[in-house]
Amino acid sequence: MQKLVITGGTPLRGSVVASGAKNAALPLLASALLTDEPVVFENVPELADITTMIHLLEDLGCKVQRNGHRVEIDASAVNSTEANYDLVKTMRASILVLGPLLARFGKAKVSLPGGCSIGARPVDQHIKGMKALGAEISLEHGYVNAASPKLKGAKILTDMVTVTGTENLLMAAVLAEGQTIIENAAREPEIVDLARCLKSMGADISGEGTVTIVVNGVKKLHGTTYSVMADRIEAGSFLVAGIATGGDVTVTHCQPEYLGSVIDKLLEAGAEVITGDDWVRARSLGRTKAVDIRTVPYPGFPTDMQAQFMALDTISEGASHITETIFENRFMHVPELQRLGADINIDGNTATVRGVAKLSGAPLMATDLRASAALVIAALVAEGESTVDRIYHLDRGYEKMEEKLKALGAKIERVNK
Ligand code: UD1
């Protein structure tokens, strides 16, 4: 087990390169199952979740070569359509193999992911959509059993906006017979990235990035080489870390157009933000003002940035309300932030944060991926030394975070306990 030891108080300054997006890379890797030709992905981040997805694909019979940020997947010899519990339980996004397996092989057996620390997160909408495409689905012994000799295009309306649900249905629809219309589709940039890659494999898709995605099924997809988009959540996390510490951080190799709601909130907090074609610079102009946050699907403010902004609000001037509308249990960072001296009250899905003049270092425990980023940010601000335990959560989604922070001047060390 490893932990981070952080001495707060140094303003972060300099520039940092954004890594490839975890949430784009996971569905992209799964999409390689749709073809018997090799698919090459570039800019794949080196993260624990990516390793889990690669293990799952290998378990299904894919040949995978991983070389740094390049991953080549050959799914020509897939010999199993079963994603077992041991792999799925470690990462919910494993459900993303359901659509491609069903579309190419006519069957799939995927373990139900179960709950996770931030909420129940059911997959009923994935199942509802697959049924609309003609799959017969039964739930037995904790597994989704799906079968359909040939999926048929259909109109699918999901009850709520779901990111991986939209991705799964998109991957199922590309090889279905006829036209599929996905209504109430998620508009996240990661979905646009997946659609772009599928199109480069020969898929016929339009409307990605809007609430209605239209797919005309094709008989076969071919191999491609595709570079994963930049991680907008990682980029946003570094910008917040820079502002929270009173610094000046530029994130390069990113897509500022996907950071709109995050940049708006940084401006509202009183930071100076300048954007270029593929970079964003956020510079502190003094103590930040508290900003209200309400998490909503893209293009609204992302739930994956809620915890980081709460960390910023804890030391801002004034009080703020942070409302989490996507996940029911995404305030687990609150008791940890309180250990640093933050003034936060929770009432239902709203947290009221009253800014304090300073935080003081303390031992902390990470509870989930984005919460761990918030704790790192708060620890970088806090006076004295903090430790962040259980950083395997951080390693699931942030590539070399402490090295990147160190390059910006942070006093941070990874130590073995
Ligand atoms: C994805 C992201 C995650 C992000 C989330 C919301 C990946 C790998 N993960 O997660 O980082 O926090 O989007 O932006 O991309 N729901 C149902 N039934 C379903 C599907 C979802 O009730 O079948 C509910 C969920 O419980 C949640 C809401 O819908 O309350 C949104 O979830 P969803 O968009 O599906 O999140 P994920 O795709 O799991």
DSSP string, 148-173: -SS-B--EEE-SS--HHHHHHHHHHH
pLDDT over 80 at 118, yes or no: no
pLDDT value, residue 1 = 85
Residue nearest (by alpha carbon) to ligand 1 atom 17: 122
> Pick from 341, 344, 330, 351: which is nearest to 379 by CA?
341
Mutating to test ligand 1, I would choose from 96, 121, 295 the residue with most ligand atoms within 8 A of its C-beta, which is 121
Q: What is the pLDDT of residues 81-117, one digit of tens each?
A: 999 888 888 888 999 999 999 999 999 999 988 656 6
What residues contact 207, with CB distance under 8 A and at least 6 apart? Answer: 185, 213, 214
Q: What is the pLDDT of residues 355-401, one digit of tens each?
A: 999 999 999 999 989 999 999 999 999 999 999 999 999 999 999 99
Q: How far apart are the first and last CA of the chain?
A: 6
Average pLDDT over residues 267-283: 98
Mutating to test ligand 1, I would choose from 159, 164, 234, 398 the residue with most ligand atoms within 8 A of its C-beta, which is 164
Cβ atoms 54, 22 nearer than 8 A? no
Q: What is the pLDDT of residues 24-55, one digit of tens each?
A: 999 999 999 999 999 999 999 999 999 999 99
Q: What is the pLDDT of residues 49-65, one digit of tens each?
A: 999 999 999 999 999 99
pLDDT value, residue 39 = 98
pLDDT value, residue 13 = 98
Q: What is the pLDDT of residues 204-238, one digit of tens each?
A: 999 999 999 999 999 999 999 999 999 999 999 99
Average pLDDT over residues 155-180: 97
Per mean pLDDT, which range of 249-263, 289-303, 322-336 is the poorest? 322-336
Element (H, E) at 102: helix 98-105
Quote the ligand 1 centre to 324 CA distance (angstroms). Answer: 13
The edge-to-edge listing of strands for the beta sheet with 107-111 is 82-83, 107-111, 143-147, 136-140
Q: pLDDT averaged over the chain?
A: 96
pLDDT value, residue 394 = 93
Quote the ligand 1 centre to 112 CA distance (angstroms). Answer: 14
> Pick from 413, 365, 355: which is nearest to 391 by CA?
365
At 308 the three-state DSSP class reads helix
Average pLDDT over residues 312-333: 95
Average pLDDT over residues 309-329: 96
Reading the block at residue 265, the tokens are 């909130």
Q: Tell me which amino acid residue 284 is.
A: S
Q: What is the CA radius of gyration of the chain?
A: 21
Left if phi > 0, otherwise alpha if psi is -120 to 50, otherwise beta: which for 385? beta
245 vs 35: CA distance, rounded Å: 47
**pTM across the whole model:** 0.97
pLDDT over 90 at 120, yes or no: no
